[in-house]
Every structure is written in structure tokens, then in C-alpha cells.
């Protein structure tokens, strides 16, 4: 089936690989594969590259010279936006909320270090992850305009806009092309705002797949908010693509069981998941998103919800640079020993 192709820049490495995880599969039962969205390119990759590939078409048309955006201190979105700006010959100004880290940092680490190396101007906002920094962004945009710049604002909502859902319909098309004629039974993905899940689920519906998409809430938003985003974003994306399929609320699967105390806070199961995938198949996942999602996948296999006969695709949405900012979660007192 041909789905309409909208304009995109071509800044990412697509298609991303789909790899088998044979050792993890033999430990957990089902056949598990990983879609390497951490290999999309742009300064260590992640799911935002696909999204920016569509979103920045407008910035290029408007001949903008600076991308302004916002998120948390260890934001993957901010890092990938900075990388896109650099690749496109622009500058990046980041307004980063302290969120789960509470305080303004005193040294660069993880994503923040990469933002700095790529030349982003970083300003810090002492704000929670669910507070809205729009007015601060608007003010900085005005400040830059007065200096003669032509800034392009990417508000928080940009990362979840319908075009970003279109981007993940593409990912589902890639998965189908890479699945060697045997459709996946399940796709498991981290749900932050929800547009990645929206695109995958919409793609599965448009392509009439049996594949069920399971979002694991990472705790940045309430399940009802994510569901609203998915319903709205998938309806608008479908229209953009000239399709009629829509997602109803009861077709959206989101689990609230795995984020623990909250966004960015490790759980024993997320720490186990990081070590498990790394030591099984040398697959490095991140603490904030993919480890929570993987802890869900592991639990659903162990509970027998995912069956031995199932073929499962885990979406590695990226975020690995943040792992280094979480080094204290892996103390040297717990050294590996070969027996
Ligand atoms: C590594 C990683 N995984 C998953 C997500 C969540 O994506 P979405 O907001 O589309 O649910 C993000 C977004 O911030 C991310 O950085």
C-alpha cells in the first residue's frame, strides 16, 4: 500500500536497522527484535531526528538563522535540535528546565555536554517537567529579533505535533519492509508525549497489520493526557496523509505500571533492564525512556502476557547520552565477577 509522502529535509539516516536480540530472546521467551531509532544520526541519534526531518522544512523555508527550543536539562530533543541546527548552518538557543535535577548544573554532562560542544547557547529555567516555559521562549525570540536575527521557535508542543506522528508512520512502514514477510505481533515503545506511539499505531492501522502497539508511560505526562495527544495527533496526521483511518481511545494501549516514582527516576526494574540488554546483546539503552519501556517488555514476558510464539519489536528511541549523567546509579562497589 502506498501512503502519501510529505516533504522532509533528509537529515537522518533512514531506514534505521532492525536487529534481532537472540540472547535476550532466549532469556525471556518470545523472539525479540529492536528497531534502532538510536541510529538515526545527528549527534548520537534518537526518535527526534525523524520528527525534525519534517518539522524543520518550515524553518528552512522561512530562512531562519536560529532554532530556539526548550525541554529538560538532559533533553534528547534539545540535543537533536541543536545537531540539526548545526547541520543546517543555523545556531541553537536552548531554554532548559531543571526538572528532575532540581538545581542548575555546575558542570556539563550527558546531553548537556553535547549541546555545549555543538555551540548551543543554554539558558536554565528552574521549572518542573510539567510546567510551561512558553512565555520565556517568546521573550527570548523577541530579544533575538531585536538583534536582527530571524529565530524559529520550537515550543514544547512541536515535538508532539501531527507531523511528528507522520514521521512515525514512516517508521512503521520501514518495520514492515524489514520484517521478512512475518508481521510483528507486538511493538513496545516508550511513551513520553505520545506522538511516536501515535505514528506507529496509526501506521499499523493504515497498513492493516495485526501488530499491537504498547506504550510504556515514562511518567512525564498522565496517561489521559498522552491518550488525548495520540487521538488528536493521529487524526490530524491521517488527514495530512490523505488517509481516513483514525485511532479511537480504546485502541490505544498505555501502561502506567513501569515509571515508578516519576519521570527520570530509576526503578530497580529499569536499572535491571539497562544491565540486561547491555550484557545480553550489547544493546545500550537510556535510563529515562528506553529502560522504563524495556522494564515493561521484560515484565510482560515474565508474566506470560507476551507468549513464546510472539514476535516482538522494541523501539529503541535513543537517549543514551543521558546514561552518563546517571553514572551514580551504577556504583563501582557492584563490580562484575566472572565465575
Ligand atoms: C529517548 C526518547 N524516547 C522516547 C521519547 C518519547 O517520545 P514521544 O514524546 O513521542 O512519546 C523521547 C522524547 O522525549 C525520547 O527522548
Residue 9 covered by a domain: no
Q: What is the CATH number of the domain that holds 103?
A: 3.40.50.1100
According to the model, what pLDDT value does residue 1 have?
A: 66
How many residues comprise the chain?
339
According to the model, what pLDDT value does residue 308 have?
A: 98
Greatest alpha-carbon pair distance for the chain in Å reads 66
Residue 337 covered by a domain: no
Q: Are 122 and 115 in contact (CB under 8 A)?
A: yes
According to the model, what pLDDT value does residue 55 have?
A: 97
CA-closest candidate to residue 196, choices 155, 152, 154, 229: 229
Residue 2 covered by a domain: no
Q: What is the pLDDT along the chain (339 residues), one digit of tens a residue?
A: 688 999 999 999 999 999 999 999 999 999 999 999 999 999 999 999 999 999 999 999 999 999 999 999 999 999 999 999 999 999 999 999 998 778 899 999 999 999 999 999 999 999 887 778 999 999 999 999 999 999 999 998 898 899 999 999 999 999 999 998 899 999 999 999 999 999 999 999 999 999 999 999 999 999 999 999 999 999 999 999 999 999 999 999 999 999 999 999 999 999 999 999 999 999 999 999 999 999 999 999 999 999 999 999 999 999 999 999 999 999 999 899 998
Q: Answer whether the bond into residue 15 is a cis peptide, omega within 30°.
A: yes
116 and 254 share one domain? no
142 and 199 share one domain? no
According to the model, what pLDDT value does residue 127 have?
A: 86
| Rg of the chain taking only CA atoms, in angstroms | 19
SS3 241: coil
Q: Whose CA is nearest to atom 5 of ligand 1?
A: 192
Please list every protein residue whose CB sits less than 6 Å from any atom of ligand 1: 46-47, 76-77, 159-160, 190-197, 286, 289, 317-319
155 and 167 share one domain? no
Q: Final residue of a domain: which of 159, 188, 210?
A: 159
0.95 cut: is pTM over it? yes
According to the model, what pLDDT value does residue 132 have?
A: 85
Q: How many domains does the chain have?
A: 2
Q: How far does the chain reach from its first CA to its final CA, in angstroms?
A: 53
Say how many Å lie between the CA of residue 336 and the centre of ligand 1: 31
Q: Does 64 qualify as catalytic in the annotation?
A: no
54 and 137 share one domain? yes
CB atoms within 10 A of CB 324: 15
Report how far residue 259's alpha carbon sits from residue 184's, in angstroms, rounded to the nearest whole number.
25
231 and 260 share one domain? yes
Pick the atom of ligand 1 nearest to 290's CA.
3
294 and 240 share one domain? yes
Q: Final residue of a domain: which of 159, 177, 204?
A: 159
95 and 188 share one domain? no
Report how far residue 88's alpha carbon sits from residue 11's, in angstroms, rounded to the nearest whole number.
9
Give helix 162-178 / helix 223-240 axis angle, nearest 10°.
Answer: 80
Q: Final residue of a domain: which of 129, 144, 159?
A: 159
33 and 117 share one domain? no
Amino acid at each position: 500500500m502506498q501512503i502519501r509522502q510529505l516533504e522532509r529535509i533528509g537529515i537522518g539516516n533512514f531506514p534505521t536497522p532492525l536487529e534481532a536480540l537472540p540472547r535476550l530472546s532466549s532469556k525471556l521467551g518470545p523472539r525479540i527484535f529492536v528497531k534502532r531509532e538510536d541510529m538515526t544520526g545527528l549527534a548520537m541519534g534518537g526518535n527526534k531526528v525523524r520528527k525534525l526531518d519534517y518539522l524543520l522544512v518550515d524553518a528552512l523555508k522561512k530562512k531562519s538563522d536560529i532554532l530556539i527550543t526548550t525541554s529538560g536539562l538532559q533533553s534528547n530533543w534539545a540535543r537533536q535540535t541543536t545537531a540539526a541546527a548545526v547541520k543546517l548552518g543555523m545556531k541553537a538557543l536552548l531554554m532548559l528546565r531543571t526538572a528532575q535535577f532540581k538545581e542548575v548544573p555546575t558542570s556539563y554532562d550527558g546531553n548537556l555536554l553535547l549541546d555545549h560542544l555543538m555551540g548551543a547557547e543554554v539558558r536554565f529555567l528552574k521549572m518542573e517537567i510539567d510546567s510551561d516555559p512558553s512565555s520565556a521562549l517568546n521573550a527570548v525570540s523577541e530579544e533575538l529579533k531585536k538583534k536582527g536575527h530571524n529565530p524559529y521557535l520550537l515550543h514544547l508542543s512541536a515535538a508532539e505535533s501531527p507531523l511528528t506522528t507522520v514521521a512515525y508512520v514512516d517508521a512503521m512502514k520501514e518495520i514492515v519492509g524489514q520484517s521478512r514477510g512475518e508481521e510483528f505481533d507486538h511493538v513496545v515503545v516508550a511513551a513520553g508525549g505520545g506522538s511516536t506511539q501515535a505514528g506507529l499505531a496509526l501506521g499499523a492501522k493504515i497498513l492493516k497489520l495485526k501488530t499491537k502497539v504498547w506504550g510504556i508511560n515514562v511518567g512525564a505526562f498522565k496517561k489521559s493526557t498522552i491518550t488525548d495527544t495520540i487521538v488528536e495527533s493521529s487524526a490530524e496526521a491521517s488527514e495530512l496523509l490523505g488517509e481516513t483511518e483514525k485511532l479511537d481511545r480504546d485502541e490505544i494501549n498505555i501502561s502506567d505500571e513501569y515509571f515508578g516514582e516519576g519521570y527520570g527516576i530509576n526503578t530497580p526494574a529499569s536499572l535491571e533492564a539497562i544491565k540486561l540488554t547491555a550484557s545480553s546483546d550489547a544493546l545500550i539503552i537510556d535510563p529515562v525512556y528506553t529502560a522504563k519501556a524495556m522494564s515493561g517488555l521484560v515484565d510482560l514476558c515474565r508474566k506470560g502476557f507476551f507468549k513464546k510464539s510472539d514476535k516482538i519489536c522494541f523501539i529503541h528511541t535513543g537517549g543514551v547520552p543521558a546514561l552518563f549523567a546517571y553514572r551514580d546509579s551504577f556504583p563501582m562497589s557492584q563490580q562484575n565477577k566472572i565465575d
